[in-house]
Structure 1
Amino acid sequence: MIGTIVNTATILAGSLVGSVFRKGMKESSQTVLMQAMGLAAAALGINGIASYMPESQYPVLFIVSLAVGGLIGQQLDLEQRFKEAVARFSKGNLAEGLSTAILLFCVGTMSILGPIESALRGNHTYLFTNAILDGVTSIVLASTFGMGIMISAVVLFCWQGALYLAASALAGFITPELLTETSIIGGVLIFCSGLSILGVGNIKTMNLLPALLVPVIFIAVRSAL
């Protein structure tokens, strides 16, 4: 899991650097950075959707996944629970920044494919590349939302660690087909996160997270039939 450790370390380092810059930054500069982060997240989301949509064998699956996952997430009220949990440790808009960080760091293609490649082939290239991108992104996020962005590094470590262990145990089930479908939904979620930062609509992105499980269940059931 050397790739995951490096990825986690770069986020911690980037968050520390960004929080130091934030102390001497004007409010107008923080606003510009927040807007830049929102645009970047939206652009990354669109890129993910455009890259994987042509490869999808089930063009409607992501729509069904978002609808079903959204209903489940709304019923559980994941967004509000997440904000309340973050509010216990920090004031301000850290919840928004942290949810964005978690989506950017964990739902991206390289963060999903990287641990799998590392477990199955011993190839850490994706994770090392992802570490550089996440390090830069964490600097910008921490300079906008504060040192609390470091929490996302813990989430990333648990996420990639779980994928690494799952890939080792379920090598035959994690197919390119499944990665394609989850990457499309991941792109939509990251795009929604970007819109939320920009203040375009009141999208409860965290409530849509269960949508990532729908393709897993669908493909598992389809393979069993």
Structure 2
Amino acid sequence: MFIGIGTVVNVATVVVGALLGLALGNRIPDRTKETITSVLGLFTVVIGGMSVVSMTSADLTGAVGSFAMIIVLASLLVGALVGSWLQVEYRLEQGATWLRGRFTASGDAARFVDGLVTSTLVFCVGPLAILGSLSDGLGRGAEQLLVKSVLDGFAAMAFASTLGWGVLASAGTVALIQGSLTALGYFAGDVLTVAQVDALTATGGVILLGLALRLLDLKQVPVGDLLPALLLAPPLVSVAAAVL
């Protein structure tokens, strides 16, 4: 197998799963779709919670001690300020609306955006996506991404059946993000320590919990404005480790 095969397979399973979900979704009553969306929200809570647990990992606490939680909080707060200033949520909505026009001439733009953002975060925020892509790029094998591909395929089917075409569009972001991480691993080697990945995963977990609140229609958290936090968490670990 060649380097990058993991991302290729992952994108293919997302596309196939999304297409199956779209075909299935037309036969599901609206009331059932609402129930499924609530289930997906609850499932996203589980994924987010499992990711947040990385905040207490041995590697992260060993590197920064009790400051792990502060690092995650600081990443989210500063990330929210940067994201709000850059209007990431608004720009994401505009971009997703443009994509929706390319895929379909009808449907609710907000639903498309939710499908794109939800599936992208679920597929791309987590240790399997990050470590699996880096491992593939380093030539250590794509086993992690192949396992992730199976999980993402079923998740894409479930998401697309209720959230529509936005889930299919997320295949492009999976290709971009995981492909970039694979290339980074190939050209730069081990660029992130385990502690940095754990901080990034925990930060992403909090964002996923905010996303779950949107799916459950409890609070419209602007998760797009929080995305810069993912870029801040790893360097903050390095800074804290150097100071402590």
TM-score, normalization by structure 1: 0.94
Counterpart-to-counterpart distance in 2, 1:220 and 1:146: 40
Please report how far the alpha carbon of residue 175 of structure 1 lies from its aligned counterpart in structure 2 after TM superposition.
Answer: 1.1
1:106 corresponds to 2:124: yes
**Which residue does 2:37 correspond to in 1?**
34
Counterpart-to-counterpart distance in 1, 2:54 and 2:235: 23
Unaligned runs of 5+ residues in structure 1 are: none
1:78 corresponds to 2:88: yes
Matches within 5 A, 1:64-75: 64-75=74-85
Identity %: 28
1:46 corresponds to 2:49: yes
Please report how far the alpha carbon of residue 216 of structure 1 lies from its aligned counterpart in structure 2 after TM superposition.
Answer: 2.9
Which 4+ residue blocks in structure 1 deviate beyond 6 angstroms?
Answer: 222-225
Match of 2:198 among 180, 195, 198: 180
1:217 corresponds to 2:240: no
SS for the counterpart of 2:36 is helix
The answer as to whether partners of 2:16 and 2:153 remain within 8 angstroms in 1 is yes
TM-score, normalization by structure 2: 0.87
Match of 1:164 among 182, 186, 200: 182
Unaligned runs of 5+ residues in structure 2 are: 62-66, 101-106
**Which residue does 2:64 correspond to in 1?**
none
User: Counterpart of 1:99 in structure 2: which amino acid?
Assistant: V
Please report how far the alpha carbon of residue 53 of structure 1 lies from its aligned counterpart in structure 2 after TM superposition.
Answer: 2.4
RMSD value, Cα: 1.8
Counterpart-to-counterpart distance in 2, 1:41 and 1:147: 19
The answer as to whether partners of 1:18 and 1:147 remain within 8 angstroms in 2 is no
Counterpart-to-counterpart distance in 2, 1:87 and 1:2: 30
1:20 corresponds to 2:38: no
The answer as to whether partners of 1:8 and 1:156 remain within 8 angstroms in 2 is yes
Report the number of matched residues.
225
Counterpart-to-counterpart distance in 2, 1:172 and 1:95: 34
Q: Deviations over 1:54-110 (max 9, x none)?
A: 332342100000000010001111111111222234341110121011100111210
SS for the counterpart of 1:88 is helix
